Amino acid sequence: MKVTEHIKNANGKTLFSFEILPPKKGEDLQNIFSNIDPLMEFKPPFIDVTYHREEYEYRELPNGSIQKIITRKRPGTVGICAAIQQKYKVDAVPHLICGGFNKEETENILIDFNFLGIDNILVLRGDPIKSEGFFKPHPQGHSYANELVSQVGHMNSGKYLHEEYAHGATNFCIGIAGYPEKHFESPNLDTDLGYLKQKINAGGNYIVTQLFFDNKKYFDFVKKCRELGITVPIIPGIKPISIKKHLTILPNVFHIDMPQELVKAVENCKDNKAVYEVGIEWTINQCKELMKQGVPVLHFYSMGRSENIRRIATELF
């Protein structure tokens, strides 16, 4: 079922969902299931699975020369989505990125998703390759997420890259990313929102936000979206802080601010066990306020760990 239908059927009740990462190449899928299992009691109608692009590695060979290796460290998104749908009977939402793919490869992945009975896709541009400073599109691929949204939208109307198939139309529900504190490459929030609107106009059906710790940022973002005529559901992305280092890692990776009250509380912790508890308490309060305002879903970034999310969800659902 489509994410938008799950939201509609919930009749204003806030739903619980979460995102997982595929395991690193060679690791067991069982680790993923062990983290999903404790969260199933909160009845997530959908689970997101991230997509990870290739990385470059430089390895020294015995003769002293250096070899450049192109490797995907977390493959398996398509297979994990199929496994989740089969094992848990919930909708898996694969992420689909522009980076590293030409349009033909993208079309073929979409055909696989369709055959697997996947109804939803979160469409993204993807980040730059780690060793590159800025995003370089594939020469035969897409530069921005709105172009990828259009490609999925075309397939939803039966228009493939080279042919039209009236009976081959897919019916994907398309999620897109939004940034309450603006995307880091954007000169300002208004410009970023203009491009967000472009993604909606191209066929985006719902928005999932970047993680944030200050609800005001989310509420202001939703208000601005509504003023621009964006009417689709806007799902807040939530991440509990769990170690002291998150004070620097999260702003660095996700380009977000942290409220001073949270920073102080974490700084005053004597160890990471205490930080873990502060993170849980902060998130519970944050989520309670979001639920009070009627957010459609609380979407947790689990990043492969579920114990704190289980404790938070126990308080909320």
Q: Which is nearer to ligand FAD, 199 or 246 (CB)?
A: 199
Q: Which is nearer to ligand FAD, 100 or 279 (CB)?
A: 100
Q: Does 103 bind ligand FAD (CB under 6 A)?
A: no
Q: Does 151 bind ligand FAD (CB under 6 A)?
A: no
Contact range with ligand FAD by CB under 6 A, out of 4-12, 30-38, 68-76, 180-188: 180-188
Instruction: Please tell me the count of residues contacting ligand FAD according to CB under 6 A.
Output: 23
Residue 207: CB partners within 8 Å, gap ≥ 6?
175, 176, 177, 178, 196, 200, 225, 230, 232, 233, 234, 235
Is 181 among the catalytic positions? Answer: no
* Given 102, 114, 186, 272, the residue binding ligand FAD (CB under 6 A): 186
Q: Is 157 exposed, middle or buried (0-12, 13-18, 19+ CB in 10 A)?
A: exposed
Element (H, E) at 175: strand 173-178
Q: Which is nearer to ligand FAD, 38 or 128 (CB)?
A: 128
Site for ligand FAD, residues 217 to 236, rule: CB under 6 A: none
Site for ligand FAD, residues 237 to 266, rule: CB under 6 A: 237
Nearest residue to 233 via CA among 10, 53, 1: 10
Residue 258: CB partners within 8 Å, gap ≥ 6?
213, 214, 241, 247, 250, 251
Distance of alpha carbon 284 from alpha carbon 308, whole angstroms: 10
Distance of alpha carbon 57 from alpha carbon 310, whole angstroms: 36
For helices 215-227 and 272-292, the axis angle rounded to 10 degrees is 30
- Is the CB of residue 59 less than 8 Å from the CB of residue 67? yes
Q: Does 84 bind ligand FAD (CB under 6 A)?
A: no
Q: Does 195 bind ligand FAD (CB under 6 A)?
A: yes
Q: Which is nearer to ligand FAD, 126 or 279 (CB)?
A: 126
Give the nearest distance from C-beta 76 to ligand FAD in angstroms.
Answer: 12
- Is the CB of residue 127 less than 8 Å from the CB of residue 183? no
Give the nearest distance from C-beta 176 to ligand FAD in angstroms.
Answer: 6
Would you please indicate which residues are annotated as catalytic (active-site) residues? Answer: 19
Contact residues: ligand FAD, CB under 6 A:
50-51, 53, 95, 97, 122, 124-127, 144-146, 177, 183, 185-186, 192, 195, 199, 208, 210, 237
